[in-house]
């Protein structure tokens, strides 16, 4: 189970605003080049987004479904990518003074990814998360704070 954390220099509501924007996933999630909401209710439970992974001239699509959410603090997703199966991805936002500690916990659930899960694939997930959480922090921190105040 790959668990990583990242301190983001913004309050939790600001980080949540990015997690709640399905069109931004292509900016910070490792792998997808774009994401499109399939439902108007993201990130409510059961809502989905389609993402595209591009490798040179090839592209493959997957779907991510919200399995659980607590607005402003928790988002649990199931990412389905046909060649590899599905994975559980859980984000927890913890207030850390005026900043946010983002904890990401991911593990394979079904399919080839779960069957072949081993220490090497776990290390690859750790590297993926390090980059992904750093990109999430950059996306959140570069947006003006006023954008997140409603």
pLDDT at 92: 98
Residue 62 lies in a domain: no
- pTM confidence score: 0.87
Q: Is 76 within 8 Å of 90 (Cβ atoms)?
A: yes
Evaluate whether residue 41 is within a structural domain: no
Could you list the residue range(s) of the whole structural domain that residue 131 is in? 2-31+67-148
Query: Is 126 a domain residue?
Result: yes
Position 17 in a domain: yes
Alpha carbon distance 91, 103 (integer Å): 6
82: CATH: 3.30.530.20
Contact 32, 51 (CB under 8 A): yes
Q: Which structure tokens are listed for 74?
A: 């928790």
Domain count, the chain: 1
Q: What is the pLDDT of residue 1?
A: 60
Is 57 part of a structural domain of the chain?
A: no
| pLDDT tens across the length of the chain (150 residues) | 678 999 999 999 999 999 999 888 888 987 766 788 899 999 999 999 998 877 778 877 889 999 999 999 999 999 898 777 898 999 999 999 999 999 999 888 888 676 777 777 777 777 777 889 999 999 999 987 655 554
- Cβ proximity of 10 and 138 under 8 Å: no
pLDDT score for 121: 73
């Amino acid at each position: 189970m790959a668990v990583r954390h990242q301190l983001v220099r913004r309050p939790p509501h600001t980080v949540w605003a990015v997690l709640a924007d399905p069109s931004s996933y292509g900016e910070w999630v490792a792998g997808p080049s774009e994401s499109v909401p399939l439902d108007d209710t993201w990130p409510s439970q059961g809502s989905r987004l389609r993402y595209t992974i591009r490798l040179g001239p090839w592209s493959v699509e997957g779907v991510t479904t919200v399995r659980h959410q607590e607005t402003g603090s928790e988002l649990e997703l199931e990412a389905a990518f046909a060649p590899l199966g599905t994975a559980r991805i859980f984000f927890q936002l913890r207030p850390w003074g005026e900043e946010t500690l983002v904890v990401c916990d991911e593990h394979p659930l079904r399919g080839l990814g779960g069957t072949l899960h081993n220490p090497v694939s776990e290390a690859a997930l750790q590297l993926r998360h390090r980059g992904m959480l750093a990109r999430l922090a950059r996306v959140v921190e570069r947006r003006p704070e006023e954008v997140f105040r409603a």
